[in-house]
Each structure stands twice: as structure tokens, then as C-alpha cells.
């Protein structure tokens, strides 16, 4: 077992001294110290076991031995840049491509989702010769400066409504958005909003380089766009020479259960021009990827500017990436996400019948949101209650988070080995907490 | 020994098919396939041994067993984000801080030099409230979109002279620049250029957020700024409310031999406001860091925007970072850089006496440049000859590169375990090649 170097208070003190104060911990009032983890469980310095319902990076389970072993073996042999030929780079690219539509065939390996989305913008700008990016309300695409501009999630926190020249389309949220589940065709209605935005931009002399969206909005409140929305948006955007960027950083690699990529939920007739990947790709190892079409890749090359990424696509990262693909397949984690996700949704549906605080439950595989409301008709976000649930769950050794623009959506995105028993445990605890709430409310 | 998955031609074919064509290999006509490496040696699929004189990422030597072991042990235990408390994060920050002036005390861990420099710009913008960045001619600071703007090295390749609103100061190159070694005070003269640029920017209503420079320009041609230059520039920049960013991505961690950080070559009276680190920090593991003052960090926090980096500062990266610091210390690699660097410079000085093609040799520790010229008086860059040297050395199993705006500067930046024997071997081969050149020339 791991031992501590410092006691917890000392760790907190050193963190205050040496780490940027903008870097926040979970549960700020009483943060958790974790010293080891395995599968879907994390362990504190006191060896308390926490059930992890939130870590979508530890995709195939924390510290998976096959992933560790693949990384170790390759570290022992070689870790260098992609200016030398290496089989891991091309082998991994080949295997990753096999999970995607044929048209998406050219890979760029980078180190983080932020680097991936920034490169996606560079590809779009170069390919189209246009400058404007359409992003969704409440979107989050990363922390480098170009992405803060297209991440309303970030600057809305600051009470700023507009901070960049880029335009936001309404989030295709059929529970809380402009067009709801009672609308006859929300996919078309939301896509028409994008069309109108394009027309307005054109009227001002702007030109659209890209539309970028997470295939399922994650920080934005676990939003599942209506089927057909992406096809219609892509049609409008391509009509004016722009490209469609699908951000799979949080939701790719089988999480949605029925498909390997979340954009595939929209149907086989939808293929993005650029796909970005991240968090789960290396089970925690810093790596990411951008995949695009030959056409876009050729445009990017035609600028004459070399693209070199020091660490991107190194043999260790690629070995780890391949091990992650292996484990997903061997352990049927995509199937598990489908089955356990369905079971979790059933449990949550039952909970919704019992507790009026639950306004909506929505999910695909192990990507699940529980929208808490003070009033089911008005759908008033129950922000304080959501925070309370999270803190109480933490006290009971369940790690869950609340997100969305109102911070009222309980967000399940656990490691993919999450089991029915784990679902029972987590939902059971939530049931108790909500029952407690209603008791307090009644008396 | 490692085995191949594909034969070399198949690797090349798959690379063409699946990897972005903007990602270039070394020795494009006949690229090298490397399957293992140890210390300063790399081995091809045919087990040919190459002496690595260029890999400043494999800082403590390729596949160093202590670094591998530290990474493995931590991967087996835990790899998660910095929203949980962990000793490695704070311990590593503490150790890194101990190498720096006291004022530089707040760390942000990120995944690449590009992420580090982008964050440095965000810190500078937020702290100063200003927007303009002064960068040096031929500078290279990374590949994300914000950094392409301040990396003339990149867009000069395209024959574009100006691509951004940011301004470039002349590179403080006393061999090839505006003010040379015969100038009575090149430090002041080059710093005055920055002052003039600031005045011009102010006249246009612009305000300076930062001056950014590598502590030693690397891609820009192995340029060593005259002592006192940074102090004077910092004075001018701070006078107008800007900050000084020292980019140590390529040159930090003891490479210069006499000091741990290359900016320290300027004297104890110089402390940057922000330092960025990268390449060598994890011996190839994707990690990086930005260190700044408490003052700048507080300004950044005061925006209210959280800074979260998914992989940055994870326990595995920090364990690897600590192992790198341990090995530098235990194996006295900084001392080795000083001693072997001095020896290498002596050999190169002798070579210069013998071969008129060598116009200048310059270096600090294991950061060494050999400027090839067709004419010593005119200092005409011998670009083709430099490329020829590189290719011939490759045939003789020595990996060296040529860089700088004219691609005529032979660039030594080997792993820090580089030995006197390695220096003898490399310089001996260069001697033969240059002798060969002059024979061809005479007859």
C-alpha cells in the first residue's frame, strides 16, 4: 500500500503555498486525499474506499494492470518523438481509424483535449480560409486561450455574457432549452437557429470556418441533442464552406454503449469533418488525437507549415492507447456501458417517480444526467439541493458531481467497469438523501 | 530486444496513409526507424547504434531505469487529476521551486511546452490588463494557435514576414544580428530596440502585456544573449506595466552547466515574472510547468475563472518529474554538462581554426551551436553544406541537426549523459566531413 509523504494538513498547506490558487480541489471545504485506486474505487490516506462515479479519464478502470504493463514495457525500450519511424504510431493510428467512418482517416497525435481542439480550429481555419467559429451555449472545449473564446461555460461563470467575436447557437437541450420535448421537430428547429446565425454573420461580412460541439454536451449539463440535429447543422455549415468539428474528448471510446463514438448516435448518415479525442484515450496518460479527412489534412499541409508536437504520438503514449483499446474490447466495456447504463437509467426513472426534486433523467450508456428542479412545471434548477446531494454522497463515500449552467445536474460518467451493484449503491444513497430532504421539507 | 510489427517500408506506407502529412520525419529521403534507446544511444530495427546529439527531451538519458521505475510504481497505484489532494503534486512543486529564485513560487502543471507558453500569455494578459506581446525575431514558442502568432520561426518558413499584430524585437545575436561582438555594449543596444518598440506601440495606443523570449534561442540558431540584456529589457517592459516571460522549454534543467536555469546566465539580479518549462522535465513523459510570482497568480485568480488541466500535475507525471530531478542530482548531470560542454567547445574551437567553413562556435554547457559560413567576413550562411554535414553524419550513425533562420547552424543538445568520448567521436566525424569538403573544393 502507498504511504504518505506528508499528513493531510501539510499537503493542504503546501498546495496553498506552491500551486496556482486558480486550480481548485473537489469539495473545497474538506478536500479528499486519494493515494491509490483500482477499477471504479479510490482509496483515501485512511484506506477509506470511495465509489468513483465521475472519473471519465480512468476509462477502463483506475490503474488497469494491462495499461500499466504496456506503458512500462514501452518506457523501458524507447520514448521519443515522431520524427523517427515507429510501429506504435502507425499501428495505433490504424487501429483508431478502424473505429471510425472510412472518411476520417488522418490522425494528428497531441497531448490533451485542449491541444486537440486548438489544432481542430487551425485545421478548420486553414482548410476553409474563413475565421468565425460557431459554438454552443454552455460549451466547454478546453483551457488554452483560443478555446476559452469558444467556451461560454467558462466565462458565464464570471457573469459575462459575451467575451469573443465568435457566435453561440442555443444548446439543443430539449428539457431546458428553447425547443423542448413537446416540439414536433426540435432537431430542425435547433439547426435552423444555426442557419439563422450563419445568415446574420454573412450579413456582417463574416465567414464561417467551423461549427464545433461536443457530441453530447457534458459540462453543459449532460445534454443529448435530438437525432438528426448534427446532419442538419452540418448541411448548413458546409453550404457556406465551413466544417463540422465533433468534440469527443469527454464522451468517446464506447461510453455511450450503443456506439463507439457519441456522434454515431445521430445515425450512420452523419460523418463529422474533424473529430477530437482526449480524456479516456490513455486512461490518464496525457495524450489526445485529432482525426480528419484526407481533404482537410491536405489543405493543412498546403500552408507549408510543418506540424510538430514534441510528445504527441510517442511510442509510450501509443502503446498505452492500444492497451486501452484492447481492454475495452476484451472486457466488453462498451457492452457493459450499454447494459449497466440501461440499468442505472431504470433505477433513476423509478427514483424520479418517487422524488419530485428529479425533473429529468437522461442518458446514453454510462453518460447519465439527473436534472434536479424545485418545480417540475417551471423546471427551476435546484442548485443548492444538487450541491447538498453531492456533499452528502461524498460523506457516504460516493463521488458524484453536479454540473451544467445552473450546477443542478447530477452527472454520472464513471469508469466503464462500473457495475449494477455500484449503480444500486449510488442510487440507493441518493434515494435516502432525497427522502431525507422531503422529510425536512414536510416537517 | 524489441521486435518490429511491420517492416520498414510498411511503416512508411502506413504513416503516409494515417498520419497528418504536415508531420515530418527526420531525413525525409531515407528516414530512420528506431526501436530502442538507452542513455545517449538509439538503435535501429537492424540494431545499428546511433549517437544521439540532438534529443534534449531524453534529458537524463533515454529510457533511464530510475525514471521508468518511478513512473511504473505510480501508475500501479494511482493516476488521477489534481482535484484530489496528492503528495506528489505538492512535493514536486516544492522541489521544483527550490531550484528557482524565491519570488518564483507558484506552479501550474500542464502537458506540453505549448500549453505552458499559452498559459503564460493568459497569466500576462490577466495580470497586466494589456494585450500586446513582444517576441524575438526567429522565436519559436509552440504550436497552439496563440503561439504561432508569436513564433516568427514558423511563419518565416512560409516566406511571410508578418502574420500577427504582435511585434518582434531583433534577436540579440552578436554573431549575425544588428549589433555584433565588436559593439561596445550590445546588451544595451538590443534592449534599447525593445524600448523603441514599446514607444512605437504606445504611440499607436497599444499596451504591452509581456516580453517573451527563450533564455537562449534554440530553433532561432543557438543564440546566447549578451549578459545584462534581460535585465534591461525587463526594466523597459516593467516600466510600462508588462511582464517578462522566460521560456526555458528547451534549455532548462541544468543543460547550460553553470546554472540550473538558462536565464540565470544573465546574473543573480535577473528574475523573470513567469518561467515556462517543458521538453526535458519528464524525460519524454508529456508534462510541463509554468512558475510565476504570487502577485501574478493572485491576479489570475482574481478573474474568478478556474484553471483546470485534466492531466496536468497528475501523480504519475509528478513522480516522473521528481525522478528526473533525482537523477540530475545523483549523476551530477549538470556538472557533466559543464565539463563535457567545455570539452566539446574546445574541440570545436580547434576545428574552427582548421576549417574556414566554421564561422562561429558558441555554447553554454550542452547547448552548442556551430555556425557554418561560406565566407567568414560576410558571414554568408552555408545552408546546403550544413544539410550535407547532417546527412553524412547520419550515414555514419551520428544524429545531429541544423537549425536557425538559415538552417546553417549545427545544433548540439544531446542527452545530459553525453561523454567526452561521444564529443570526440562526433567532432572527429565532422572534421572528416569538412576535410572532404575542402578537398573537393581544391581539386
Residue B158: what pLDDT?
57
Q: Which of B:252-291 have CB within 8 Å of A?
A: 278-279, 283-287
Are β-strands B208-214 and B132-136 bridged in parallel, bridged antiparallel, or unpaired? parallel
- CB contact under 8 Å between A316 and B78, yes or no, is no
- Most B-contacting residue of A13, A18, A122, A314 (CB-CB within 10 A), to test interface: A18
In order along its 443 residues, chain A shows pLDDT tens digits of: 467 999 999 999 999 999 999 999 999 999 999 999 999 999 999 999 999 999 999 999 999 999 999 999 999 999 999 999 999 999 999 999 999 999 999 999 999 999 999 999 999 999 999 999 999 999 999 999 999 988 887 765 555 544 456 789 999 999 999 999 999 999 999 999 999 999 999 999 999 999 999 999 999 999 999 999 999 999 999 999 999 999 999 999 999 999 999 999 999 999 999 999 999 999 999 999 999 999 999 999 999 999 999 999 999 999 999 999 999 999 999 999 999 999 999 999 999 999 999 999 999 999 999 999 999 999 999 999 999 999 999 999 999 999 999 999 999 999 999 999 999 999 999 999 999 998 876 54
State chain B's maximal CA–CA distance in angstroms: 72
Confidence of residue B153 (pLDDT cuts 50, 70, 90): confident
Three-state DSSP class for B399?
A: strand
Name chain B contacts of A307, Cβ cutoff 8 Å. 20, 22-23, 143
- Which residue in A138, A96, A86 sits closest to A116, CA to CA? A96
- What are the residue ranges of helices labelled H in A98-220? 113-128, 145-148, 152-156, 186-203
Distance CA B80, CA B68 (A): 18
- CB contact under 8 Å between A85 and B278, yes or no, is no
In this complex, which of B11, B82, B307 lies closest to A90 when CB atoms are compared?
B11
- Most B-contacting residue of A52, A90, A308 (CB-CB within 10 A), to test interface: A90
Q: Which of B:215-254 have CB within 8 Å of A?
A: none
Q: Does B81 touch chain A (CB under 8 A)?
A: yes
In this complex, which of A115, A155, A310 lies closest to B279 when CB atoms are compared?
A310
Residue A287: closest CA among chain B residues belongs to which residue?
B286
The secondary element (H helix, E strand) that includes residue B104 is: strand B104-110
Q: Does A90 touch chain B (CB under 8 A)?
A: yes
The radius of gyration of chain B's CA atoms, rounded to the nearest angstrom, is 22
Mean pLDDT of B38-61: 98
Residue B3: what pLDDT?
75
What the block records as the C-alpha cell of A421 is 451493484
Neighbours of B190 (CB within 10 A): 26
Q: Average per-residue pLDDT in chain B?
A: 95
Residue B268: what pLDDT?
95
Q: Does A340 touch chain B (CB under 8 A)?
A: no
Neighbours of A354 (CB within 10 A): 12
- CB contact under 8 Å between B314 and A284, yes or no, is yes
Name chain A contacts of B116, Cβ cutoff 8 Å. none
Name chain B contacts of A91, Cβ cutoff 8 Å. 5-6, 14
Q: Does B53 touch chain A (CB under 8 A)?
A: no
Q: Does A87 touch chain B (CB under 8 A)?
A: yes
Three-state DSSP class for A135?
A: strand
Distance CA B233, CA B270 (A): 10
CA of B386, closest CA in chain A: separation in Å?
19
- CB contact under 8 Å between A71 and B76, yes or no, is no
What the block records as the C-alpha cell of B442 is 581544391
Distance CA A29, CA A26 (A): 9
Q: Which of A:366-395 have CB within 8 Å of B?
A: none
DSSP one-letter code for B225: P
Three-state DSSP class for A431?
A: helix
Confidence of residue B165 (pLDDT cuts 50, 70, 90): low
Q: Does A164 touch chain B (CB under 8 A)?
A: no
Name chain A contacts of B112, Cβ cutoff 8 Å. 110-112, 115, 309-311
- CB contact under 8 Å between A300 and B20, yes or no, is yes
Distance CA A206, CA A203 (A): 7
Residue A156: what pLDDT?
59
- Which residue in B368, B361, B365 sits closest to B256, CA to CA? B365
**Is the pLDDT confidence value at B161 over 50?**
no
Asked whether the ipTM of the predicted complex exceeds the cut of 0.85, the reply is yes
Residue B167: what pLDDT?
84
Residue B359: what pLDDT?
98
| CB crowding B321-347: b at 16 or more within 10 Å, else e | bbbbbebbeebebbbbbbbbbeebbeb
Q: Does B102 touch chain A (CB under 8 A)?
A: no
**Is the pLDDT confidence value at B246 over 50?**
yes
- CB contact under 8 Å between A143 and B307, yes or no, is yes
**Is the pLDDT confidence value at B73 over 50?**
yes
Q: Does A293 touch chain B (CB under 8 A)?
A: no
The secondary element (H helix, E strand) that includes residue B322 is: helix B315-330
Distance CA B174, CA A252 (A): 52
What domains can be seen in chain B, in order of their start residue? 65-330 (3.40.640.10), 332-443 (3.90.1150.10)
In this complex, which of B6, B72, B154 lies closest to A305 when CB atoms are compared?
B154
Q: Does B302 touch chain A (CB under 8 A)?
A: no
Name chain B contacts of A22, Cβ cutoff 8 Å. 108, 297, 300-301, 303, 305-307
Residue B69: closest CA among chain A residues belongs to which residue?
A72
The radius of gyration of chain A's CA atoms, rounded to the nearest angstrom, is 22
Residue A154: what pLDDT?
72
Amino acid at each position: 500500500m502507498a504511504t504518505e509523504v506528508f499528513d493531510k494538513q501539510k499537503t493542504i498547506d503546501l498546495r496553498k503555498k506552491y500551486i496556482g490558487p486558480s486550480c481548485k480541489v473537489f469539495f473545497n471545504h474538506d478536500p479528499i486525499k486519494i493515494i491509490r485506486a483500482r477499477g471504479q474505487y479510490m482509496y483515501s490516506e485512511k484506506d477509506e474506499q470511495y465509489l468513483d462515479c465521475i472519473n471519465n479519464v480512468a476509462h477502463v478502470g483506475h490503474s488497469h494492470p494491462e495499461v500499466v504493463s504496456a506503458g512500462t514495457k514501452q518506457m523501458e525500450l524507447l520514448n521519443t518523438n515522431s520524427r523517427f519511424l515507429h510501429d506504435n504510431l502507425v499501428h495505433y493510428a490504424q487501429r483508431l481509424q478502424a473505429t471510425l467512418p472510412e472518411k476520417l482517416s488522418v490522425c494528428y497525435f497531441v497531448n490533451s483535449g485542449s491541444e486537440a481542439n486548438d489544432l481542430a480550429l487551425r485545421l478548420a481555419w486553414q482548410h476553409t480560409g474563413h475565421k468565425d467559429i460557431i459554438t454552443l451555449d454552455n460549451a466547454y472545449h478546453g483551457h488554452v486561450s483560443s478555446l476559452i473564446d469558444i467556451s461560454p461555460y467558462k466565462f458565464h461563470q464570471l457573469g459575462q455574457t459575451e467575451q469573443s467575436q465568435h457566435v453561440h447557437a442555443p444548446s439543443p437541450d430539449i428539457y431546458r432549452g428553447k425547443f423542448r420535448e413537446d416540439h414536433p421537430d426540435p432537431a430542425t428547429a435547433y439547426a435552423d437557429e444555426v442557419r439563422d446565425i450563419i445568415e446574420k454573420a454573412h450579413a456582417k461580412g463574416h465567414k464561417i470556418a467551423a461549427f464545433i460541439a461536443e457530441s453530447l454536451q457534458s459540462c453543459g449539463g449532460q445534454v443529448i441533442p435530438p437525432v438528426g440535429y448534427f446532419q442538419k447543422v452540418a448541411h448548413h455549415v458546409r453550404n457556406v464552406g465551413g466544417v463540422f468539428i465533433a468534440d469527443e474528448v469527454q464522451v468517446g471510446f464506447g461510453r455511450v454503449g450503443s456506439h463507439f463514438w457519441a456522434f454515431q448516435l445521430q445515425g450512420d448518415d452523419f460523418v463529422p469533418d474533424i473529430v477530437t479525442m482526449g480524456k479516456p484515450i490513455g486512461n490518464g496518460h496525457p495524450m489526445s488525437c485529432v482525426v480528419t479527412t484526407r481533404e482537410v489534412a491536405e489543405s493543412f499541409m498546403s500552408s507549408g507549415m510543418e506540424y510538430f508536437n514534441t510528445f504527441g504520438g510517442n511510442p509510450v503514449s501509443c502503446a498505452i492507447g492500444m492497451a486501452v483499446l484492447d481492454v475495452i474490447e476484451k472486457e466488453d466495456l462498451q457492452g457493459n456501458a450499454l447494459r449497466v447504463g440501461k440499468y442505472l437509467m431504470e433505477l433513476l426513472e423509478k427514483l424520479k417517480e418517487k422524488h419530485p426534486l428529479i425533473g429529468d433523467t437522461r442518458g446514453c450508456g454510462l453518460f447519465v444526467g439527473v436534472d434536479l428542479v424545485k418545480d417540475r412545471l417551471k423546471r427551476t434548477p435546484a442548485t443548492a439541493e444538487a450541491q447538498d446531494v453531492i456533499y452528502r454522497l461524498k460523506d457516504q463515500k460516493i463521488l458524484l458531481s453536479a454540473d451544467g449552467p445552473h450546477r443542478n445536474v447530477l452527472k454520472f460518467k464513471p469508469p466503464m467497469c462500473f457495475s449494477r451493484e455500484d449503480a444500486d449503491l449510488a442510487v440507493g444513497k441518493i434515494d435516502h438523501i432525497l427522502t431525507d430532504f422531503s422529510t425536512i421539507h414536510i416537517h
